Structure 1
Amino acid sequence: MATYALDDFGGRFLTAGPLEVEGKIRPGISAYVEWFLPTARRELSVLFVHGGGGQGSEFLRTPDGRPGWAHAFLRAGYPVYILDRPGHGRCAWNDHALGPALPIADYDFLYARFVEPERHGLWVEAAKHDKWPQDRLAGDRFMASQGPMATTLSESQRHVEAIADELFEITGPTIIISHSAGGPCGWALAAKGGDNVAAIVAVEPQGYPGMVHAQGTFEDGLCAAPLSGSADPFARPIAIVTGEATWMRDTNTRAAQYIRERGFTFEHIMLEQHGISGNGHMLISESNSESIADLLISWLAKNLDLQSGDLRTRRQQAEPRTRYNDPKHAGGAIRPELS
């Protein structure tokens, strides 16, 4: 049974400050970031950014109870930060700050695209899908994780840009790993974070230049609205990751061409070319998710030249990376077990 030591775990709400609405002071745009800090760790962290109506918990555990990607990256020595984007997960939807939200998607819509696309055949590659977990409750748990989302892509982008500065103060130098509709948010965050963002791994990212979507048109490259940050989000090593059985293959191929033309380090990782087959859009939750995480960790090691010597054992941490005083955890180390 694999274990690793943590110096700290916790979380914090991020906020752009209060708003005055109809004579009352109310919370403004807010988000939540959770962190896990391994004792022997790299200087560079990993920031997970979820998609659509999802939440950060998707990176902690799969719907059938296996360790999620966060655990694989912790074993590799990365401090892990998991973002609940504004209005998602631990950060409830606040229409005063975020505007209206779309209704939560129903079983018919999401099952045909995420859980059992092979049964519905909405796209040609769907027939190859065979990696959804066999646990009979996995689909229900996935549906339970889904919540509201902004009515427009530009609003989703504006929301993450509002909390970006405070987020990067916490993560420090980091690697963004985004999924789906978190892809455009990841590019927007990188434009704000600049040199704080060492690399981006965009997993099945939404959008390509000019793509017309129900929530808006991609009018600014891989984003729907002009970036509020001044840095070039593509001026760093980038990978796009695409499953064999997803509807995103054409979308991701067009996005990949856009990034390649910018001349930076880039790879479009088509999973079947690495012996990983049958994955749909929600590959972070599927039965071979750990193999995909291992592939991404290897890609980062190669493209960022990360060596085992980058690991550090740190016992004294500044806030928010506070140590626990619980006598059960002498020395500040906490050992979770991975089942």
Structure 2
Amino acid sequence: MRTHFAPWAHAPVRAIRRGHFWIPGERVTSGGRTCQRGPMYVEWEAPESVTRRWPVVLMHGGGFQSTEWFDTPDGRPGWAQRLAEAGYAVLVVDRPGHGRSPYHVDTLGPMGPPFSYEGGRQIYFPGDDARHTQWPFAAHDGDAMDAFIAGYGPLPADLEASQTMDADRTAALLDRIGPAILLTHSASGPNGWLVADRRPQLVRAIAPIEPMGPPFATIPNIGEMRWGPAATPLRFEPPVSDPAMLRQARPGEFRLPSLAHTPILIVTAEASAFAAASPPTAAFLNACGASAQVLNLADRGVHGNGHGLIYEKNSDATLAPVLEWLASLN
């Protein structure tokens, strides 16, 4: 007899407040009618008593959606719940054109390619690195893989326009809620610097989890990081009109004043191929006057992780050093 799926049967009762709202997009004309371009869905949750000074905004990775922060593929509580349990108000966004933030090509432009099973295996699954032991389901578990891939959609084909919209909407979110901490994952990593560049007085800290990079990289099926740590321009001093100026510059020749006083903790995993992008990213930011540090989880005794460290089997352990760092900010 088939066993029915009832995830609520054994889930603990939670005393938590939650809700959602939208950061609207611009009104645009399409086909002679008025439409909205690129709204951003925001879901929030908070403990009965918020004990931490600043809320945390969680931004998901490329092609995925906010659900990556809520629950793990094997059904355990994700980072959003754990942060709320630690006393934080938590806001989780669906970046424009992802998840519950609607996508239409007439307002957002062409889509990139669909996300493939092969891409999912290459990015997340254990490969030849025997250290990667924490992936939450077996490679031959087809049902689990189907459920995992179901949450992915295409990215906008124009990476620069997508990052610009992400940063603009998140800046509008901070205008509404006030100062906050940004936690990004993978492709949303550049959004951390871009939002701080727009609202330096409202970004209290940034914790990028294996951010997309390294500077000036061309990311397959996604786009080019033309402006160093991002695909879209940042406000360098002295001003930069052509990204080629940055490629040719000596370290320290250009600065990012908006990041000068923003704590940045870049988190990497020992068995992730994407971890190699983080030290060059930190070096670029620091040469521009930032104070970015790289935390390799293995150096803190957290082993076995790949790029999906936020929802692997030991996700509570991967969060622990981040929680410790966040607590030191208050």
TM-score, structure 2 normalization: 0.83
Matched, 1:133 2:140: no
Structure 1 Cα separation of the partners of residues 70 and 257 of structure 2: 30
Structure 1 Cα separation of the partners of residues 88 and 288 of structure 2: 28
Structure 2 residue corresponding to 1:202, chosen from 208, 211, 216: 208
C-alpha contact 1:190 1:231 (8 A) present in aligned 2? no
Structure 2 Cα separation of the partners of residues 171 and 65 of structure 1: 30
Q: What's 1:85 paired with?
A: 95
Q: What's 1:325 paired with?
A: none
Kindly report which structure 2 residues correspond to 1:262-273, keeping only aligned pairs within 5 A, or say none: 262-273=288-299
Describe the shift of the 1:129–1:150 C-alpha distance in structure 2 as closer, same or farther (beyond 3 A): same
C-alpha contact 2:30 2:107 (8 A) present in aligned 1? no
Partner SS state of residue 18, structure 1: strand
Residue-by-residue CA offset, 1:216-272 (whole Å, 9 max, x unaligned): 332223111213799724530001111111111221121121233344443201011
Measured after TM superposition, the shift of residue 27 of structure 1 is 1.7
Structure 1: tracts of 5 or more residues without a match: 307-339
Partner SS state of residue 201, structure 1: strand
Matched, 1:117 2:117: no
For the aligned residues, what is the CA RMSD?
2.1
Structure 2 Cα separation of the partners of residues 145 and 228 of structure 1: 34
Q: Which amino acid aligns with 2:61?
A: G
Matched, 1:275 2:313: no
Kindly report which structure 2 residues correspond to 1:29-178, keeping only aligned pairs within 5 A, or say none: 29-41=38-50, 42-114=52-124, 116-118=125-127, 121=128, 126-134=129-137, 136=141, 137-178=143-184
C-alpha contact 1:242 1:269 (8 A) present in aligned 2? yes
Structure 2 residue corresponding to 1:24, chosen from 29, 33, 42: 33
* Higher mean C-alpha displacement, 136-145 vs 176-185: 136-145
* Higher mean C-alpha displacement, 222-231 vs 264-273: 222-231
* Higher mean C-alpha displacement, 221-230 vs 234-243: 221-230
C-alpha contact 2:126 2:133 (8 A) present in aligned 1? no
Residue-by-residue CA offset, 1:188-227 (whole Å, 9 max, x unaligned): 1222222111000000100132222333332223111213
Measured after TM superposition, the shift of residue 287 of structure 1 is 0.4
* Higher mean C-alpha displacement, 253-262 vs 71-80: 253-262
Identity %: 35
Structure 1 Cα separation of the partners of residues 199 and 13 of structure 2: 32
Structure 2 residue corresponding to 1:242, chosen from 246, 259, 268: 268
Aligned residues: 296
Measured after TM superposition, the shift of residue 117 of structure 1 is 3.1
Structure 2 Cα separation of the partners of residues 27 and 177 of structure 1: 27
Q: Which amino acid aligns with 1:219?
A: R
Structure number with the bigger relative contact order (C-alpha 8 A, sep ≥ 6) is: 1
Structure 1 Cα separation of the partners of residues 290 and 28 of structure 2: 40
C-alpha contact 2:226 2:232 (8 A) present in aligned 1? yes
Structure 1 Cα separation of the partners of residues 235 and 74 of structure 2: 39
